[in-house]
Amino acid sequence: MKINLFIILFAILLLPFFLLISPLIIPIVLVFLVLFLKINYATIKGAAGERHVNRILNQLNSNYKVYHDLYVPNKRGGTTQIDHVVTSPFGVFVIETKNYDGWIFGDENQKYWTQVIFKRKEKLFNPIWQNYGHMKALKHYIGEDFEFIHSIVAFSPRATFKFKGGFKSARVIQYPQLVKVIMEWNIYKIGHAELQQINRALDRLILTDKKEKRELKRQHVQAIKIDRQMMAKKEIENIEQNVCPKCGGALSLRKGKYGAFYGCSNYPKCRYTKRVS
């Protein structure tokens, strides 16, 4: 992220120099900057959101310890990247940040939520499910029996929620609410010795060597790509055998408003669907 910003700033600083040498170079540099920003926009925007949340969480008092951008070992032998973890005597908070604009639609049981900006619609993986995976990895790391762990999904204040109901397994809020929501848990649940043990375990995940962290991030991204390929392959195999890849129930071919699709026989408990291509 810092390297990307350095490239942009360096290119901007060189613009006057290019103008003196040859005015024709300016359009080329500008095209390069536009393409670079377009390719890296999601990464830059996500990192900006995480930095903003860092500043907000640092307002918490001395009862709380804040961790950012942790790569937590998971059961599969890889790592799970968690945006923010806050530890305290009142519980451990796992926070997933979403620096999104526009209207946000979704519910707890939907695999994908929808972001609407004017007439453009984009899918995003259910962040409650995403953060549940983060919590499972964290519990695997600090202790499977640990129960005082809470899920928070924090959106940018530029997002407008269009949810029809509430959520049971997570708090879905906006950045400015973070400190207030975390402090709603105010009953002591974790003893001093246990809290110190958790903090020491998380301290071991902090990487100060930038080169080492870049390599870990590269391995993490590569593992995600492989996992997605394997999941897609397994999903196809299950559909071919009429087995729901989500719950193991039977799939049946149905017809809907937008064409034929596979639906799970365990509906409404399982809402898995797959369009017929």
Which residues form the domain of 259?
217-275
pTM above 0.85, yes or no: no
Q: Do 231 and 171 sit in the same domain of this protein?
A: no
Q: What's the CATH number where 147 sits?
A: 3.40.1350
The reply to whether 267 falls in a domain is: yes
pLDDT tier at 74, thresholds 50, 70, 90: confident
Q: Do 177 and 262 sit in the same domain of this protein?
A: no
- Please say whether the dihedral angle defined by the alpha carbons of residues 22, 14, 41 and 219, taken in this order, is positive or negative: positive
The reply to whether 53 falls in a domain is: no
Q: Which pLDDT score, from 0 to 100, does residue 41 have?
A: 46
Q: Do 242 and 263 sit in the same domain of this protein?
A: yes
Q: Do 39 and 127 sit in the same domain of this protein?
A: no
The pLDDT tens digits for 82-110 are 999 999 999 999 999 999 999 999 999 88
The pLDDT tens digits for 9-42 are 555 665 565 555 555 555 665 565 556 545 554 5
The reply to whether 52 falls in a domain is: no
